Amino acid sequence: MTTTAAPHALSIGIGIGGERALLRAARAHDAPCRTKFVEAYMPLIGSVAHRYRGARAVDRSELMQEGVVGLLRALDRYDPARETPFWAYASFWVRQAMQQLVAELTWPVVLSDRALRQLSRVRASERRLAQDQGHAPSVAEIGEAAGVGAEHLGLLLAAERTPRALDERVAIDSGSGSPLSELIDDPAGEDSLDRVASRDAAQRLDEVLVSLTGRERQVLAHHYGLDGEPRTLRSIADDLGVSAERVRQIEQGALQKLRATCDWSG
């Protein structure tokens, strides 16, 4: 037991006997000793905070504060009778407190401690490669250097991104932009063509499409999968050599023509 506890006692700058005495006094809510106890463990708390340096939205000072909260939480729950080294027990509570802070400030989902360590390793590899190569490394290079598979790396990087509201306007070229919801496909959403006024329009689709220009037919066919898999406005815009905003305008004009045609024929 002594050999297990010794490294922790030495790492906080006091002997084993001093660690135990300070622990007893801190647990008894002796304010000066409690402060001294926290100060003694700050280097170890700092080593845990270092693991979360990949979380860009969280300052180290905030991590240290949460680490202290976790340390005190562990202190109140620690049972000396079990003879478990205090830091072996407290490190879990310190990591948990920091992880919760990172999750709340950075990501819409709570990542496990293991995932956060992997993300930290990924970002460290990215910085090292950028410094060695003189340019931003590719995702494949980062994954190989960090020892993380491509699929898992994609999930980690996606979890790190700040979520965006669907009604947030996305600037496109020099225009005012469009809501994000209009630039992405919703596989579960209702197909806009289903809202054309006349129900039998789908059965007479070829006849109805005659009222459209070639480009309008092309945009609708690509976007709604009439000639294959549905495609995003951005990918269609790349093919046509125009902006996604322009493709959206073409689509809206085409749908208005279809509604007018169906209303007249229905």
Output the domain CATH number for residue 181. Answer: 1.10.10.10
CA distance linking residue 221 with residue 209, whole number of Å:
10
Residue 132's beta-bridge partner residues? none
Same domain flag for 73 and 137? no
Same domain flag for 89 and 131? no
CA distance linking residue 212 with residue 208, whole number of Å:
8
Confidence of residue 25 (pLDDT cuts 50, 70, 90): confident
CA distance linking residue 146 with residue 162, whole number of Å:
22
Query: For the chain, how many structural domains are there in total?
Result: 3
What is the pLDDT at residue 198?
41
Percent of the chain with pLDDT over 90: 7
**Mean pLDDT of all residues in the chain?**
75
Lowest mean pLDDT across 46-50, 57-61, 189-193, 248-252: 189-193
Residue 179's beta-bridge partner residues? 169
DSSP alpha helices (H): ranges in the chain? 2-11, 16-27, 31-50, 60-77, 86-106, 113-133, 139-146, 150-160, 205-209, 214-223, 233-240, 244-265
Same domain flag for 206 and 145? no
Q: In which domain, by residue range, is 155 found?
A: 115-160
Same domain flag for 213 and 239? yes
CA angle in degrees (0–180, nearest 5) for 16-1-28: 50
Q: Is the pLDDT of residue 172 over 70?
A: no
Same domain flag for 96 and 137? no
What is the pLDDT at residue 135?
77
Same domain flag for 133 and 196? no
Lowest mean pLDDT across 58-67, 99-108, 245-254: 99-108
Q: Which three-class secondary structure state does DSSP give residue 260? A: helix
Minimal CA–CA distance to 60: which of 49, 71, 69?
49
**In this predicted model, what pLDDT tens digit does every residue of 189-244 receive, in sequence order?**
445 545 444 445 455 566 666 777 888 888 888 887 777 778 888 888 888 888 87
Q: Is the pLDDT of residue 24 over 80?
A: yes
- CATH number for the domain spanning 33: value is 1.20.120.1810
Same domain flag for 79 and 153? no
Same domain flag for 210 and 128? no
Same domain flag for 71 and 24? yes
Minimal CA–CA distance to 153: which of 186, 192, 126?
126
Long-range contacts of 222-225 (CB under 8 A, 24+ apart): 223/251, 224/191, 224/192, 224/193
Q: How far is CA 75 from the centre of its chain?
A: 32
**In this predicted model, what pLDDT tens digit does every residue of 134-156 receive, in sequence order?**
777 888 888 888 888 888 887 77
Confidence of residue 68 (pLDDT cuts 50, 70, 90): very high
What is the pLDDT at residue 197?
42
- CATH number for the domain spanning 131: value is 1.10.10
Confidence of residue 10 (pLDDT cuts 50, 70, 90): very low
Last residue of a domain, one of 129, 160, 191: 160
Q: Which residue has the tokens 């009222």?
A: 211
Same domain flag for 95 and 35? yes
Q: Are 125 and 118 in contact (CB under 8 A)?
A: no
What is the pLDDT at residue 31?
86
Same domain flag for 6 and 102? yes
